[in-house]
Amino acid sequence: MAPYDPGVARNDSSIGRPLSHHFEGALETLAADLEGIPWGVAGSTMVALLGGDVKPADIDITCHSEAFEAFRSTLDDVIEMETGGPIWRNAWWMRGSVSGVSVDVMGGPAIDVNGRRVDLTAVSELEVAIGSNRVTLADPAEWVFVYRSIDPAKAAVLAEIVGPSDIAAAGARLGIDPPYTGLTAPE
């Protein structure tokens, strides 16, 4: 697997699994339709863009809570979902689609850690090329902590890409003890 390099473009053959044309088309459409709105690709699609051996089922996006209307007007077939759940403490969450691809958007992304709300970085400085556009990612090191709660196998894949020092720095930045491994909130 290629080393984690935030400056490398996604279409550089040295990183990333190819996304389906549908996913790349949906990301290009989102980039064009949401120009000027900060958002980051998260979840399995982010892991795949960084070179992880995963097959995304949908596109997860994180954004600032103020972007609700922009996403509601951009996505097709919008369903507003619960903001909580076993680990999630987002300001809002919606599901929709773009070009037939399922998209989940988390506004003001946050997780529960030991009964405490921990706000995630909605948009990082990392960008990857998708077609003629560049899209921003959520913070991959923070998503190691998310995946430790919901999918330890993906956490391991992402941790291999990101590396222990970045994970420890994210844990310190978020106030999460790096050994944190999962769910503590009541369901």
Q: Check residue 150 and give its pLDDT.
A: 87
pLDDT digit string, tens, across residues 102-155: 999 999 999 988 888 999 999 999 999 888 888 999 999 999 999 988 899 999
Task: Check residue 140 and give its pLDDT.
Answer: 96
- What pLDDT score was predicted for residue 49? 93
Task: Give the pLDDT of residue 50.
Answer: 92
Query: What pTM did the predictor assign?
Result: 0.85
- Is the domain spanning 21-174 CATH 3.30.460.40? The answer is yes
The residue among 21, 33, 35 whose CA lies nearest residue 130 is 21
Q: Exposure of 47 by Cβ count < 10 A (0-12 exposed, 13-18 middle, 19+ buried)? A: buried
The rounded distance, in Å, linking the Cα atoms of 115 and 132 is 43
What is the amino acid identity at position 12?
A: D
Residues of the chain with pLDDT under 70: 1-18, 84-85, 177-187
